[in-house]
Amino acid sequence: MREVWNPSLVLHSQIIFNRSFSNLRTLSTIRSSPPPPPNQLKSSSTNTTTNKYWNRFYKIHNNKFFKDRHYLEKDWAHYFSSDNNTDSPISPSKVVLEVGCGAGNSLFPLISAFPNIFVHASDFSANAISLVKVHGDFKEERINAFVSDVTKDDLCEKISPNSVDIVTLIFALSAVSPDKMPLVLQNIKKVLKPNGYVLLRDYATGDFAQEQLTLRNQMISESFYVRGDGTCAYYFSEDFLSRLFEKDGFDPVEINVYCKQIENRSKNITMDRRWVRAVFCKQDPCKDLPLFMTEAR
């Protein structure tokens, strides 16, 4: 049965499924091998381990796990179209950085919808980047795909400083331990233009998967969990997300938490799937300076 969701509604929408719960393709229910115990995944050492498990994830699933994501052009078309005319996706070129591009499930629908954009695509996993490069729609003149751990690898080695119009973080920041998240924001801030935008979609607190991970004693630290396949996930509150970005020089443009109820009749289970959608703008360091100081620069 096809899922139908109205993006204009922030309230619950209810969708009924007759299939079994085990067939729902949620990351929290996939087990390729026993995960490491949570007490062995301390926040300060999760990134190397997480990279290893994401690499194995894409080796196992290739590009078959995630469906193509078309909501970037549906929800945020005006950010990619400089003339703000969403009826026509063709616009003067914009430069996009997708952090955590995976196998390209967001990347390729985006370049198809907006033929004039150029995308830098990075991911923890070398296997994921390989899948991007062998995709039938991959073109080097439109996509610069590279492996990068954005918690430590300087993006300026691959991308010119202050050259990116838009950064997308689509279920990517949650894969990073919370103590490393500021490093990610500081890194993307270096390549993002003043008044450039970060578009984020990620897991929200109260999600059904979070509840299941809590019951399985898979918590590493507050709101941060290890899944059954060894990958990690953080569940964001609006307040935490706002403070995180504001501390590193980003102004919130919009933040909303969305919920979709999924009922499984055969298992008599109702699942509240929750995610946060947010837009942040990089502060322009010159905007609040006196005119004579900006001219001096």
Walking along the chain (297 residues) 10 residues at a time, the average pLDDT comes out as 35 31 35 48 48 51 53 89 54 85 89 93 89 89 94 96 96 93 97 97 94 92 87 94 97 95 82 94 72 45
Judged by DSSP in three states, 72 sits in helix
- pTM for the model: 0.75
What Cα–Cα distance (Å) separates residue 263 from each residue in 13, 22, 28, 247, 268? 11, 13, 17, 39, 7
Beta carbons of 26 and 228 less than 8 angstroms apart = no
pLDDT for position 67:
55
pLDDT for position 112:
92
Terminal CA-CA length for the chain: 59
User: Which domains are delineated in the chain?
Assistant: 37-81+92-201+235-256+276-282 (3.40.50.150)
Phi, psi at residue 83, to the nearest 5°?
-90, 5
Residue 285: closest CA among 253, 238, 250: 250
**Side chain identity at 227, as an amino acid letter?**
R
- Residues 88, 107: Cα–Cα separation, whole Å: 19
Q: Whats the size of the chain, residue-wise? A: 297
pLDDT for position 83:
58
- Residues 140, 138: Cα–Cα separation, whole Å: 7
- Residues 212, 227: Cα–Cα separation, whole Å: 10
